Chains A and B, each alone.
Chain A
Amino acid sequence: MMRTLVKALIGAMALAPLSGWADQDPQTMLRKTERAIETLNYEGTFVHIVDGQVDTMYVVHRVEDGVATERLVSLDGPEREVIRDQDEVTCIFSDQKSILVSRRKDDGPLRAAVPRFTDNLENHYRFRSLRSVNKLGRDAAVIAIEPQDDLRYGYKLWIDSDSGMLLKAQLVDRYRKVVEQLIFVSLDLPESIPAERLRPSIAAEGYARYVQDDTADGEQKPGRSAWQAGNLPSGFKLTASNVRMMAGASSPTEHLVYTDGLASVSVFIDQGEGDQVAPDGASRIGAANAFTTRVGPHVVTAMGEVPAVTVKMIARSVTQRPGTPVAAQ
C-alpha cells in the first residue's frame, strides 16, 4: 500500500506543471529552464543584441516523440536559416548561395561537451532570486548568477514561472555592463507544432552544398590531447578535445574545450605559417574575447565568452604535454 502511494506521489510530481517556481531556489529553476528549453514546443521572435549589433530572429522548436527539431531564421539583412535535428545542423545562407550541413553523433563528444548546469557551480557563482516581474504577459521569475571572481561573466535570466521557458537572458560583466542579451518579443507555447513549420523558407535551388561530417574524425578523449592549459580559473575543466582540418587550413587544428559548467573557453592550436593565422594579441568577435600567442612554431588562441583577462591568462599558459605526439603540425 505504502509502495503504491509513493509511486503515485512520484508520478504526480513528474506530471505536475512547473508552477510555484518563485518559491524554488535559483539552481533548481535553472535546471528546469534547461529542461524546458529542450522539451517544450515553442515558437517566437526574439532580439539578440551583442556589441551594439541587434538581430531579430524567429525560432520554432518542435518536440515530437521525444525528438526535438529546431529552426532559426534571421529576420534582418540577408536571408539565413539554421535547422537542427537529431542528426544534422543545416545552415542556409542566401547571401552566400550555399548550404552547410554538419552531421553529428547523437551523443558524441560534441554534444556530451555542451556544458550542463552542475552542482558545484555554487563554488564559483552566487545565485540570487530577484523580484518577479511581468514579461510578455507572463509572470517571470528573475535570477541573477554572479561570478565570485573577475575571471568569468555573470548572468541574469527571466524565466516564465509557469513553463520554465527562458524569456530574456543577459550576459553581464563585472561592471554590470550587459555584454550580450536575448529578449523574446513574442512567444507561443502550443501543445503541438506542425512539421511544416520546420521547413526552410529559402528556396535553395542551385546553392552550393558543403557537408562536414563530425561523426568520423578527430574526436579524442579528454586527457589524450597533446596540449594543455596550465592556468585556468577555478572550476574550469577540460570537457572535449579534437583534432581536425578546419576550413581553408592546410594543417589540422587541435581544439580543446574548457568549461566551469556555465562559461566555456576554447583553445585552438595551429601551425604558425601562412596568411591565415590569427593575429597576435587580443581580439574580440561577437561576445567572445580571444587572445593569440605563439608557442614555438605553433599559434595558440584562447576564445570564449569570458573577460579578456581570462583568455589571455589561459592562452599564455598553454604548453605541450611531454611525451605526446603533436597533431597540429
Chain B
Amino acid sequence: MKNVNNEQLSAFVDDELGTQETEMLVRRLGTSERLRRTAMRYAVIGDAVRDDLISSDPRRLPRRVSRALSSEPARSAGAANQTRLGLLRPLGGAAVAASVALVAVLSLSDRVSAPPESAAVTVPEIATANAPVGGYSSAMISRRAGSPDQLRRYYLNHSQYATMLGGQGPLIRMVRAPDADENPDEAAGEARSEDSVE
C-alpha cells in the first residue's frame, strides 16, 4: 500500500478494510497530515449523512479522530479496528451511507477534474463570463452530443434567482456547477426512498 487511494480510505472510515491493509493504512495516517485530514473529512461527512454528529461540540470529532490516528499508528489491526468502532460508531446499515457519500465525493472530484482526452467534439474555448464555471472535459462533451453546455449556463443563471436552503443555495450551486443528465429517469428521480423525512 504505497499510495493510499480514496476507496481504501473510504473502506477504512467505514471499518470495512482488511486487517493487513488497515495496519498499513494506520501507519500511513501517522505520517501524512493530508491523509489524516481527508480521513477526518470523510468521517464527518459520514456522520452528517447518518445524522450522527455528536451533539455537544462537532469540532471534537475531528480532534478525536486525529488523536486516535496519530497517537498509535503502529498498533495492531485488531486494536485499531476497535478504536475506530468507538470513534465512528457506524449504526447498523449506516456504514453503507458513508461509503455512498465517499463514492459520491470521488465521482464528483473525478468528474470535475477530468483532464481533456481525445476529443470527438472540440472543447469550447472559455469565451465569456459563465463559461469557465464547472470543469469541461472533452470526453464528457462527446458523450453528451446534444450539448449540455447550454443547460449548464441556464442552471448557473437560474441559480442566481434560487432561494432554497437559505441564503447559501445559489452560491453552493455556483461552486458545484454539476453536469446535466439528459435522460433522467423521472420515476426514479421521484421514487420512494428510505431516505425520507421523519
Contacts and interface: CB of A to CB of B under 8 A. Distances in A.
Interface residues of A, number: 110
Contact of B149 (A47, A248, A257, A284): A248
A29 interface: no
Interface in A47-68: 47-57, 59, 61
B110 to A, nearest CB: 9
A248 B131 contact: yes
B133 A91 contact: yes
Contacts, number: 292
B53 A264 contact: no
B17 interface: no
A283 B109 contact: no
Interface residues on B, range: 35 or more
A301 B176 CA distance: 21
Nearest to A36: B166
B161 to A, nearest CB: 5
B95 interface: no
Contacts of A75: 41
Interface string A30-49: 00011001100000011111
A293 to B, nearest CB: 14
B34 interface: no
Nearest to B181: A284
A82 interface: yes
B195 interface: yes
A326 interface: no
Interface string B173-198: 11110111111101001111101111
Interface stretch (A119-127, A165-173, A196-204, A224-232): A165-173
Interface of B: 41, 44-45, 47-49, 51, 53, 55-59, 100-105, 107-109, 112-113, 124, 126-133, 135, 146-155, 157-158, 160-169, 171-176, 178-184, 186, 189-193, 195-198
Interface of A: 33-34, 37-38, 45-57, 59, 61, 70, 72, 74-78, 80-82, 84, 89, 91, 93, 95-96, 98, 100, 102, 110, 113-116, 130, 134-137, 144, 155-156, 166, 169-178, 180-183, 185-186, 208, 210-212, 239-240, 245-249, 255, 257, 259, 262-264, 266, 268, 270, 275-279, 281-290, 301, 303-305, 307-309
23 contacts: A47-B44, A52-B103, A53-B178, A54-B104, A76-B41, A76-B108, A84-B171, A91-B133, A91-B175, A110-B160, A134-B55, A169-B165, A175-B191, A178-B197, A185-B44, A259-B161, A263-B164, A278-B147, A281-B182, A283-B151, A286-B178, A288-B155, A309-B186
